[in-house]
Structure 1
C-alpha cells in the first residue's frame, strides 16, 4: 500500500512538472519552431502539426535508447577487482529483430503520414469552390502575377502585375547596406479567408515559389503548370523567395504576399485596372519562345538578273 502511494505522488509530480513546462511554451515553441504562427494558412498548420508530432515520436524513441545506453553502462560496468573481458555473445535474436522492426515501422509510418498530408495539400479547389485564381510566373529574377476572373466569385480579377528584381539600399557613399527596398518588391495580394489557387509557371528556367511562413513551397518549371491551393487565415505581410538556384541574382529574387480584407483586395485590383493593366501577360512573354532552333540557318538570296 505504501508503495502504491509513493507511485501516485511520483506520477502527480511528473504531471505537474510537465504542465508547468508546457504552460511556459510560446506559440512558436508549440509550433515546433517552424516559421510563422499557427493560423497563418490551412496547409501550414497541417505541416507544422506533422512536424511537431514527428519530433515527439523521435524524442520519445531517443530517450528510450539513451536510457538503455545509460542502463547498460551502469549495470554492466567493470567492477572493482574484475579483470579480463566479460562474457561475449555472438548475437541476441530478440534484440536483432527489435532493432530491425522498429526502424522499418518508423520509416513506413513517416512515409504514410507524409503521403497523406501531401495528398491533402496538393488537392486543389474544384471550379465551384474557387474564389481567387492567380497565375504566378517566376522569371530571372522577379515575379509576375495575373489575377484571373473567376466565374461566380465575389472577388474582382482579370488584371496583371509585372515585378522587378529586388533593389538594394545604399548608403551616402553608394555602398550597399545589405538591405533591400521592401517597397519595391513584387507583392502578391490575397484576400483573407478565400479559397485561393496559384498556377505556378516559369518564363525561363526552373524557380521555386516559397513563402516560409506558409510552410510550403512549389517549383515553377518551364513548360509546366504546378498548382498550389490554400486559405490564408491571418492578415499580414509575408516574405517569399525563390528556393531553386536560378542564376547570378537568385538571392535577389524576393517577393511579398500581403493578405488583406476583401475590400482592400478589390481596391488593389481596381488600382491595377486604373493603371491600364487589364488582361493577363501569359506565356507569350516567356523567354524560351525566342530560343534559337537546331537547324542550320539559310540565307535567302535574290535571283540575279541575266
Structure 2
C-alpha cells in the first residue's frame, strides 16, 4: 500500500509512460521508409564520387561521438534521478555539496577533449577535400546568377576558338586556376534559365556533363550575390561568392543523373536554382562536347556597369540587357 493509503503503485504510471515512449520510438524508426542499408549512412544519400566516402565517414563519426555523449549524459541524469531521489520515509534535506574540484575540472576538460578531437578530424578531412595539388582532367567554371547556373567547360573542342587563359570574359578567375587550363582551350558553355528543363528527364535546370573516372575541378564564380553549389550525392557543397573564387575537385565513380541545387538563400527565385549532373563515360562526354554544347562566349562575371538587373514578370524572369546577358530573354 502506498503512503497515501492507495493500493495503486505510483510506479505503474511511470512504467506505462516509458512503454509508450519506447513504442513511439520503434514506430518512428520503422516507419521512415528507409531500408536497413540506409541506416548506416544516417540520412546521407549514396556516395557517387571517390571523395564522398571520406565525408560520409566524418558524418558517421560525428554522430557516434554525439550518441556516446548523449548516452553518458542521459545515464548520469537517470542515475541521479533514481538513486538520489528523496526518500519517502525521511524528510530531512540530503547532504549538500558546494564545491568538488575534481568534478568541476572534469566538466571543463572533457568538453575540450571532445571539441579538439572533432576539430582534428574535420581539419584533416577538409584539407584533403580541398587539396588542388593534383592536376585535373576536366575544368568547369561554374557561374551562379539569379536564378540559374552557367557551366563553362574549359577544354579543347573542335569548332571552338580563343584561349581561356587570356579570354577577357574569364577575367574573374584568378591566374592560379588558369595555370591548370589546357593550352589554347577555347571551351564551350551551357547556361540555364529558371524555366529550363532537361529534355531527357524533364528535370528543371541546365545539365552539367561529367566524365566517369576523371578528376573534375570546379571553379566557382558569381555574377551577383552569394550562392552555394551543391550536388546532393557528392555530399559536398561550396559557396559561390562574388569577388572571391572557390574551387574543389571530385572524381565521379558512378554513372547516372543526379540533382543539384543552390544551398544559399539568394533571392525570390532561390528555389528554382536547380540543375542536373549527368555522369557518363569519357567517350560520351567528348561526343557531347562536339555536338550538344553551344559554342561561343563563356558565361562570365560581367563588369559592374553591366551587372545583371532583373525583375519579376509573372512566372518569367526578364533582364534589362537581355542581348548582353546569357540566360536572359526579352519578355
Query: Does TM, normalized by the shorter one, top 0.5?
Result: yes
Counterpart position of 1:37: 46
What is the TM-score of this pair, normalised by structure 1?
0.73
Q: Distance in 2 between matches of 1:241 and 1:152?
A: 26
Query: Offset at 1:99?
Result: 1.0
Alignment partner of 2:87: what SS?
coil
Do the aligned residues in 2 keep the contact of 1:193 with 1:231 (CA within 8 Å)? yes
Provide the aligned length of Structure 1 versus Structure 2: 247
CA 221–266 in structure 1, closer or farther in 2 if over 3 Å, else same: same
Deviation readout 1:222-281 (Å, 9 max, x if unpaired) = 2222112011111111111111222211111111111111122112111236xxx33541
1:228 lines up with 2:248 in the alignment: yes
CA 233–226 in structure 1, closer or farther in 2 if over 3 Å, else same: same
Q: Which residue of 284, 290, 298 corresponds with 1:281?
A: 298
What is the TM-score of this pair, normalised by structure 2?
0.68
Spell out structure 1 runs of 4+ moving beyond 6 A.
Answer: 150-153
Counterpart position of 1:173: none
Query: Offset at 1:90?
Result: 0.5
Do the aligned residues in 2 keep the contact of 1:41 with 1:230 (CA within 8 Å)? yes
Could you tell me which runs of 5 or more consecutive residues in structure 1 were left unpaired when the two chains were aligned. Answer: 1-23, 169-180, 293-306
CA 115–44 in structure 1, closer or farther in 2 if over 3 Å, else same: same
Matches within 5 A, 1:110-259: 110-126=118-134, 129-149=135-155, 158-166=187-195, 182-183=202-203, 185-259=205-279
Do the aligned residues in 2 keep the contact of 1:161 with 1:272 (CA within 8 Å)? no
Matches within 5 A, 1:4-23: none
Counterpart position of 1:6: none
RMSD: 2.6
Q: Which residue of 262, 269, 275 corresponds with 2:289?
A: 269
Query: Offset at 1:109?
Result: 1.4
Do the aligned residues in 2 keep the contact of 1:41 with 1:231 (CA within 8 Å)? yes
Q: Distance in 1 between matches of 2:181 and 2:261?
A: 32
Do the aligned residues in 2 keep the contact of 1:202 with 1:286 (CA within 8 Å)? no
Deviation readout 1:184-209 (Å, 9 max, x if unpaired) = 52110111111000111112222111
Counterpart position of 1:65: 73
Deviation readout 1:5-47 (Å, 9 max, x if unpaired) = xxxxxxxxxxxxxxxxxxx97332111211x214x11232111
Query: Offset at 1:103?
Result: 0.5
Could you tell me which runs of 5 or more consecutive residues in structure 2 were left unpaired when the two chains were aligned. Answer: 1-33, 157-179, 309-331
Counterpart position of 1:93: 101
Deviation readout 1:89-122 (Å, 9 max, x if unpaired) = 1021111111111111111111121111111111
